[in-house]
Structure 1
Amino acid sequence: MRRGEQPPWIVPDELWARIEPLLPVVQRRTDHPGRKRLDDREVLSGILFVLYTGIPWEFLPQELGFGSGMTCWRRLRDWNDAGVWQRLHESLLAELNAAGALDWSRAVIDGSHVRAMKGGPKPDRARSTVPEQAPSHVITEGHGIPLAVSLTGGNRNDVTQLIPLVQAVPPVRGRRGRPRRRPVALYADRGYDHAKYRKQVQALGITPVIARRGTDHGSGLGVHRWVVEQSFALLHWFRRLRIRWEIRDDIHEAFLSLACGIICWRRLVNLSLC
């Protein structure tokens, strides 16, 4: 961080103006008011502090005014249950789409595995002979902006998430006409090469551009597929996402969704639209 620059976990006014209307309103009980509820913006800064630094919740510095780690954890859980992070991601995608910053001519899909220190997510069988892993799957548009992200068990083949991830792309508004959900073409590596899934992609009106198995490397698709690797690099820039520490799937998914929103926000800032 450069001298004089704000820490990344401090929520800027422009971003807060987009998040605040999405937060659920919690009425304070007049009969048993208890302590005053901590300010949502300060708690969000605490959540971002954990996301950026990877610090355990219980070690969240109290002197920074974020509240306790458990308070931030609960607020992250409640806001995720209310769909705040998903709606934030969708609204920022709409702003990018309105600015012509989304490339719908192609989308790219891939998966990435990180070590799960407290057990793997969504297990598919009772026992596993491999170390627990937390695979995340991302589909991006042509410039590498994440459109959707999902989490599965470590023993699931990446190709099984091809159609669910394509269908998870939200309707993106921002331009006249119907919201956009489908790219023209879908790029993937040879791990997704399967006749069954190629037909399913085509049935959705998308042209599958997938490297063929049994062929030498150097298909030439890397000039288009590299953007998804860039997206994973941006996600793993958040230290909390480099290793999965969360026992609960929804908490890790909340961090993933929030991180996607922040990546979209940064792209907006770079476009000088704020």
Structure 2
Amino acid sequence: MRIIKLDAIDSTNNYLRELSALESLLDYTVVVAEKQTQGRGQMGAVWDSEPSKNLTFSVFKNISGLNLEASYSISMITALAILKSLQDLAIPKLSIKWPNDILSEDKKICGILIENVIKEASLNASILGVGLNVNQRVFKNLPRASSLKLLSGKNYILDEVLISIVENLKQYFHIYETGNFDVLKEAYVANLFRINKPSTFKDQSGLMFSGFISGISNTGNLQVLIEDNITKEFDLKEITLMY
């Protein structure tokens, strides 16, 4: 496993993407930074992390041959790998908030940003960006943020947590590559935040409505059971779960 350690960088995803354009990278090449100056989350959100307290890293994975419609599998695999590592650390009440935030109860402890490299209309590689709150104790103006330290009272060795996540990534990609997509999807849905519970959502126009998260489609859309026993599908830009 090749691990590139940086003191500071704008974004580990950007660094790894640029590196992959310059040289042929082995699967699971990792770039980890003590500090990210422009860390990013889903939908352009900023990922703010205290230097040297948390894990901000990106992992390279060759996914050539995978069709574009299957790209959501990469996000699902990454979320499951991180969830498994945190379960092994006995972090309580874990779930995956669609599409791939990791929560403990209703507190966010990890964000994931997947960026795919596409060549000739096919997926070529994937950059798996992860921001995991580990030893940070104070989150200013972020009432829904937490960390492994706050949840367990323990300090963690960052390298050990990192290696655990990468090893679990290897295991879950192996499950996928041997044709067991349904096994992964079942595990993912079983761990979804608020699965089969009455929830409130907001659509693109700001309209609030109620429903039950019932699952995900094979392309990663959220399936919500609404009134009159109708199930509708939504992509990331169409719906926000209010909690």
Task: Give the TM-score normalised by structure 1.
Answer: 0.25
Higher relative contact order (CA 8 A, sep 6+): 1
| Larger fraction in helix | 1
Task: Give the TM-score normalised by structure 2.
Answer: 0.27
| Larger fraction in strand | 2
In terms of Rg, which structure is larger? 1
